[in-house]
Amino acid sequence: MTIQLERPPALNGLTVTIELAAAGASLNEDLVQTLDAVRDQIAHLGAVTVTVRAAEPYEIEPAPRIDTGAEIHIYPDSRVVRQGTRELSLSRLEFDLLLFFADHPGQVFSRAQLLHSVWGDAHVGRRTIDVHIRRLRMKAGDRFPLVTTIRGVGYRFDGQGRVSVTRG
């Protein structure tokens, strides 16, 4: 691929004049000769040409989309979550939380366990979990309860059979 610029970059006459004066050029004949030389060089250069080699095209095969009858499909390799034909827009942590729950269906986790497993060493408040679970519930819709609150204990994922995880 070849890219041609129509004109070389513009020169600022004032800057050229100041630099020439600072270099000791007399601003009469020397300046005219210098400007003529610059003009000749620009004319000689003409259009600037840059050659760019395009990368070889390649194809990545999409991960197989297997219909398991589930209502929500999680594709960890592409970090995509689909509910039917609709793609759910999840934040990074919402996605990580949903995937963690989907990998551990039916298990109850305390806030501390979820913070350690999903957030790692990040210093966040215990109510951060509540906010992210509320957002997951809202995005999945009221008719599809993903996570059940177990009072005084934590949360349990109840999407077993309705959520599928497809890895590579």
The whole-angstrom separation of Cα 119 and Cα 126 is 11
Domain positions in the chain are 2-51, 72-165
Kindly tell me the sign of the dihedral angle through the C-alpha atoms of 81, 83, 88, 93. negative
Least confident segment among 16-30, 48-62, 76-90: 48-62
Q: What is the pTM of this model?
A: 0.57
CATH number of the 72-165 domain:
1.10.10.10
The whole-angstrom separation of Cα 30 and Cα 37 is 10
The total of other beta-carbon atoms located within 10 Å of residue 114's CB is 20
Least confident segment among 35-39, 85-89, 154-158: 35-39
The pLDDT tens digits for 130-168 are 999 999 989 888 666 788 999 999 999 887 778 889 987
Largest separation between any pair of C-alpha atoms in the chain: 91
- Where does the pLDDT of residue 26 fall: very low under 50, low under 70, confident under 90, or very high at 90 and above? low
